[in-house]
Amino acid sequence: MDVVTPETRGMISATFEIQLPPDIWITQLSRAFPQATFRLLSGYRVEDSALELGETVTDHPNDVAAEMADHPSIAAYELLESDDRRVLAKYETTDTALYDFVEQSAQTIEFPITVQNGWYEFDLTGTREELDRFQEVLESSPLSYELRSLVGAQETDELLTDRQREVLETAIRDGYFEIPRECTLSELADSLEIDKSTASNILRRGEARIVKSFVSRPD
């Protein structure tokens, strides 16, 4: 059984969407391919550059890979995997604006970070005070931002059954909720080793609980 402490009860998970500065490589690349979804899976700063592992889902994987490898801000590029819809690569970039921003806000990066058409989206978990400080940093920035969601961590644990959480997390990981969708309901069911109708029922019930909780939550 999970032990609920005052610290865990006060934790909040938030999803932010922030406009990227126009002069960094991922802004330029994501705007050149506005339908592509770029995911920063991991990364860390090394002096004046950053080493990153990135995935791109796109209808033009070869074009994206070529543009990325040739960008002047990419110091080194290694293609790890590719198919007709996806590119996975590790690379070194001299653009460290993301890390500068995170250091300024004193928050920890939670991967993956998703970038699409000049905006990046990521999750943060912290206390109300930590998230308030983070929003103060955003307010002082010239870049636009949007708070997409704000959920108490303990509320989420109590909201869903273990099975609903498992199915929803698998759906998110496999891209079921992406636009365009990256896996079908049948593929999701196969991944979970359950039949299609069972997967659909669990998804609908979990989604309904989340929506009802959000709608009924006081401002």
- Rg over CA atoms, the chain: 19
Contacts of 111 (CB under 8 A, 6+ apart): 40, 41, 42, 43, 122
**Fold classified for 160-216:** Arc Repressor Mutant, subunit A (1.10.10)
The three-point CA angle 100-33-41 to 5° equals 45
The pTM of the full predicted model, rounded to 2 decimals, is 0.65
Question: Which sequence spans correspond to the domains of the chain?
Answer: 14-151, 160-216
Query: Is the separation of the CB atoms in 35 and 178 below 8 Å?
Result: no
pLDDT tens series, the chain, 219 aa? 233 333 444 577 788 899 998 999 999 999 999 999 999 999 999 989 999 999 999 999 999 999 999 999 999 999 999 999 999 999 999 999 888 877 877 777 788 899 999 999 988 888 888 888 888 888 888 889 888 877 765 444 567 788 888 899 899 989 888 878 888 999 999 999 898 888 888 888 888 777 766 554 544
Q: Rounded to whole angstroms, how far apart are CA atoms 172 and 112?
A: 12
Q: Rounded to whole angstroms, how far apart are CA atoms 26 and 32?
A: 10
Q: Rounded to whole angstroms, how far apart are CA atoms 61 and 206?
A: 34
Query: Is the separation of the CB atoms in 52 and 60 below 8 Å?
Result: no
Half-sphere exposure of 59 (CA within 13 A, CB side): 7
